[in-house]
């Protein structure tokens, strides 16, 4: 996948950055699921989200990277940290962390991974081969045109979804309705 | 080393998804289960954006919608957690069994 | 290797866009050093200006007129005992000030000091700045939680709720400024056909759009640009937890809020991060509404003579500062105890005068223009911050949240809708 380079987004040391960023993302994923304290897991997840934004930048998707940093790392994770602070989790940190059927869960996940590998190896010939698109320098403008043109309906439904989520969260967390 | 292709990103996304699935299936703490679900959604996003390199910007638009959905779902899920914590003072999923016989 | 270094010198883009890692690192170190010096100067200026507002003198002893006070403060903070609360989570306690510091400093990658004087010019520049500066909320929350005591926890919850609320209003104001970059037409109401405006999120592009539309966005669609600027100016003060919105960290309210349990060097990291964030959001305001690095009347008064007149401003500014320093020397008491201070202040005045004279030389004069006007506008905002702190009483927390959600956000949405309507109609 040799990209056709236009001025403005020069690739610099692509291989190194890919292995570096994806290694950090996977490491943070492992830390999320193995830490005892939820705050440490949240910190690891924030780090993983930021390195994933770096991976999006490497895929020439700057707008999605920006949205990931603002919404995911700066919004959703703040919400998680608030709830972790409100829900006093001292007692649960001294209890057993993994549940009783952890072995079956692990085997099921490994089976899922094996399924992915089999699908990729056997089924790759079924799908058409894609051609790398030329890199545009106005990524944001084109995404905006698509969002407000072709995906307008989905955009409006997403705003309704957010309204429902706001009302739902407020109702769930109130002491007296 | 071979030049970085789409397959490399797909492998990273698949690994993240499996890590998220392990987190959901094996942990007892509800907050960490919700964070593992966010890991799964991130893996899907990485897949979408990796393929949008080959097939146009539709993948990136879909990824933006997925991030919006993740925000809504995290808010509602944490609201449910707070409501339940107020009743039963625990955040372990295997103690949330009020409907058992 | 040598031509890798010199190949950049002829280009007219930022080092990040040219892909030149060496010059990007040089720019990063220059910006980092400049911001650190600016934070120390801001510390001194705040104490002196607040003192003069309150008809007292402020620090006068440490250096001449307290000029070495920030250095004494830094030495004091570095030599204090590092106290960690007993049940505190050590890792989170350690990393919280680092997150605030990194988030506040990473913003400077896209701040444009000139048409090519930025570390890089991301084409999502303003989105990056807003996003990274919102990461400092995480540091605040973690600092409060890790201190394992209730005053910091309440302070952190209040502070982060305030920061998140005012980020929404900031976003509305920023979007209405970005809308203006996509307009054609010249002048304040954009009538007539001028340049073909392409909307852009890059910081350098926003300033260029103001130049091409021949009006600062402050005056565009008057009063809409003005109101948007006002919303941003208020929201940025609340975002950085400064007076009059400093309930979470005021000393008489919550015993210093989320950084109560931090002592010594860790506390100085919080202070460094706060001042760096102030300078960062001020530079957003300058770039979006005040025309960035362009001198006043860049389009109205053109021509060689006007360029010459305006290019003399940096030199005259430093000469005026040198004159003030010499007036201070003359007014020093004639007592042998003050001899060292008098000599120090005279030396400082001579250094300022020399810098002023250097800035009159033609090669330096042409290159320093952009940086000087940008820094001068940001310095004006810094003075405004100190003025607010001296003048306004503090908002109570529920009043603060009410202003953020019920006053600024509706006005912001209204300005956005009106700007969009005017942009389409005109």
Asked whether at least 3 C-beta pairs link B and C within 8 Å, the reply is no
pLDDT tens for C76-132 read: 998 988 888 887 788 999 999 999 999 999 999 999 998 888 888 888 889 999 999
Interface contact A72, partner C, CB < 8 A: no
Low-confidence ranges of chain A (pLDDT < 70): 1-12, 88-89, 91-92, 176-177
Q: Name the A residues in 16-35 with CB < 8 Å from any B CB.
A: 18, 22, 25-26, 29-30, 32-33, 35
Q: Compute CA distances A153 → A132, A141, A163, C155, whole Å.
A: 28, 19, 16, 42
- What is the pLDDT of chain C when averaged over all its residues? 88
Res A4: pLDDT: 44
List subunits contacting chain C, requiring 3 or more Cβ pairs under 8 Å. Answer: A
Stretch B80-94: mean pLDDT, rounded? 84
Convert C359-382 to b/e letters by CB count within 10 Å (16 or more is b).
Answer: beeeeebeebbbebbbbebbbebb
Taking phi first (over 0 means left), then psi (-120 to 50 degrees means alpha), and beta for anything else, what does residue A31 get? alpha
Confidence of residue B11 (pLDDT cuts 50, 70, 90): very high
Chain C residues near residue A78 by CB distance under 8 angstroms:
137-138, 141, 160, 164
Q: Name the A residues in 85-114 with CB < 8 Å from any B CB.
A: 86-87, 89, 92, 95-102, 104-106, 108-110, 112-113
Length of chain B: 101
Q: Give the least confident one: A107-116, B9-18, C205-214.
A: C205-214
Among residues C76, C59, C68, the alpha carbon closest in space to that of C40 is found at: C68
| Contact criterion met (CB below 8 Å) for C125 and C66 | no
Stretch C175-193: mean pLDDT, rounded? 80
Chain A residues near residue C197 by CB distance under 8 angstroms:
none
Q: Name the A residues in 13-52 with CB < 8 Å from any C CB.
A: 37, 39-40, 43, 46
DSSP C75-89: HHHHTS-----TT--
Show Cβ contacts of residue B51 under 8 Å, excluding neighbours closer than 6 positions.
A130, B6, B59
CB contact under 8 A, B38 and A68: no
Q: Give the least confident one: A84-98, C344-358, C395-409.
A: A84-98
| Contact criterion met (CB below 8 Å) for B48 and B67 | no
pLDDT tens for B31-64 read: 999 999 999 999 999 999 999 988 889 999 999 9
CB contact under 8 A, A86 and B82: yes
What's the burial of C253, exposed, middle or buried (CB within 10 Å: 0-12/13-18/19+)?
middle
Long-range pairs for B82-87: beta carbons < 8 A, 24 or more residues apart: B82/A83, B82/A86, B82/A87, B82/A172, B82/A173, B83/A172, B83/A173, B85/A87, B86/A175
Interface contact B13, partner A, CB < 8 A: no
The CA distance from B21 to A110, in Å, is 10
Res A6: pLDDT: 43
Pick C144 or B16 by higher pLDDT.
B16
What's the burial of A153, exposed, middle or buried (CB within 10 Å: 0-12/13-18/19+)?
exposed
CB contact under 8 A, C17 and A7: yes
Q: Give the least confident one: C147-156, C221-230, C318-327.
A: C147-156
State the ipTM, two decimals.
0.92
Name the closest residue on chain B to residue A165, using Cα atoms: B72
């Amino acid at each position: 996948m040799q990209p056709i380079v236009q001025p403005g987004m020069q690739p610099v040391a692509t291989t190194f950055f890919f292995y570096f960023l994806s290694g950090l993302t996977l490491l943070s994923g492992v830390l999320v699921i193995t830490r005892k304290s939820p705050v440490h897991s949240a910190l690891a997840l924030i780090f993983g989200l930021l390195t994933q934004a770096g991976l999006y930048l490497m895929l020439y998707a700057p707008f999605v990277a920006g949205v990931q940093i603002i919404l995911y790392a700066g919004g959703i994770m703040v919400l998680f940290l608030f709830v972790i602070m409100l829900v006093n989790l001292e007692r649960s940190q001294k209890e057993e962390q993994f549940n009783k059927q952890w072995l079956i869960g692990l085997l099921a996940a490994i089976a899922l991974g094996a399924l992915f590998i089999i699908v990729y190896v056997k089924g790759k010939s079924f799908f058409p081969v894609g051609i790398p698109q030329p890199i545009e320098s106005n990524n944001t403008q084109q995404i905006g045109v698509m969002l407000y043109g072709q995906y307008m309906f989905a955009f409006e439904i997403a705003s309704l979804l957010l309204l429902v989520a706001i009302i739902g969260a407020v109702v769930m967390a109130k002491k007296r309705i | 080393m071979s030049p970085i292709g789409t397959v490399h990103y797909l492998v990273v996304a698949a690994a993240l998804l499996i890590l998220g699935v392990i987190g959901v299936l094996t942990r007892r703490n509800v907050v960490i289960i919700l964070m593992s679900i966010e890991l799964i959604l991130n893996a899907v996003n990485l897949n979408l954006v990796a393929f949008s390199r080959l097939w146009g910007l539709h993948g990136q638009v879909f990824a933006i919608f997925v991030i919006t959905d993740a925000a809504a779902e995290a808010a509602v899920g944490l609201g449910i957690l707070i409501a339940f914590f107020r009743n039963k003072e625990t955040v372990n999923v295997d103690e949330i069994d009020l409907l058992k016989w | 290797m040598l031509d890798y270094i010199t190949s950049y010198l002829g280009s007219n883009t930022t080092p990040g866009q040219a892909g030149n890692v060496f010059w990007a690192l040089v720019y990063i170190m220059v910006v980092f050093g400049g911001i650190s010096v600016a934070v120390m100067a801001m510390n001194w200026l705040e104490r002196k200006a607040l003192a003069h507002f309150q008809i007292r003198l402020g620090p006068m002893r440490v250096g001449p007129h307290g000029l070495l006070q920030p250095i004494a403060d830094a030495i004091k903070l570095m030599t204090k005992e590092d106290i960690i609360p007993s049940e505190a989570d050590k890792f989170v306690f350690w990393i919280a000030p680092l997150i605030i510091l990194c988030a506040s400093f990473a913003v400077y990658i896209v701040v444009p000091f000139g048409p090519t004087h930025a570390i890089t010019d991301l084409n999502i520049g303003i989105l990056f700045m807003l996003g990274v500066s919102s990461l400092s909320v995480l540091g605040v929350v973690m600092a409060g939680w890790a201190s394992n005591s209730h005053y910091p926890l309440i302070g952190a919850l209040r502070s982060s709720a305030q920061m998140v609320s005012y980020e929404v209003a900031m976003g509305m104001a920023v979007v209405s400024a970005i809308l203006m970059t996509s307009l054609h037409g010249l002048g304040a109401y954009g009538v007539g056909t001028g340049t073909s405006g392409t909307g852009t999120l890059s910081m350098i592009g926003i300033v260029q759009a103001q130049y091409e539309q021949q009006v600062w966005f402050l005056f565009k669609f008057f009063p809409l640009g003005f109101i948007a600027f006002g919303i941003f100016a208020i929201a940025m003060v609340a975002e950085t937890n400064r007076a009059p919105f400093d309930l979470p960290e005021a000393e008489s309210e919550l015993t210093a809020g989320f950084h109560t349990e931090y002592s010594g060097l860790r506390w100085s990291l919080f202070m460094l991060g706060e001042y760096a964030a102030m300078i960062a959001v001020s530079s957003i305001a300058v770039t979006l509404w005040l025309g960035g690095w362009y001198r006043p009347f860049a389009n109205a008064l053109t021509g060689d003579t006007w360029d010459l007149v305006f290019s003399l401003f940096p030199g005259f500014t430093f000469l005026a500062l040198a004159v003030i320093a010499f007036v201070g020397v003359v007014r020093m008491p004639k007592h042998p105890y003050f001899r060292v201070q008098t000599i120090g202040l005279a030396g400082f005045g001579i250094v300022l005068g020399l810098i002023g004279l250097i800035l009159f030389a033609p090669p330096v004069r042409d290159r320093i223009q952009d940086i000087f006007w940008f820094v001068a506008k940001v310095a004006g905002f810094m003075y405004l911050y100190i003025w607010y702190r001296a003048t306004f009483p503090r908002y109570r927390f529920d009043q603060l949240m009410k202003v953020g959600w019920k006053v600024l956000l509706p006005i912001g949405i209204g300005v956005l809708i009106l700007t969009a309507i005017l942009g389409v109609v005109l």
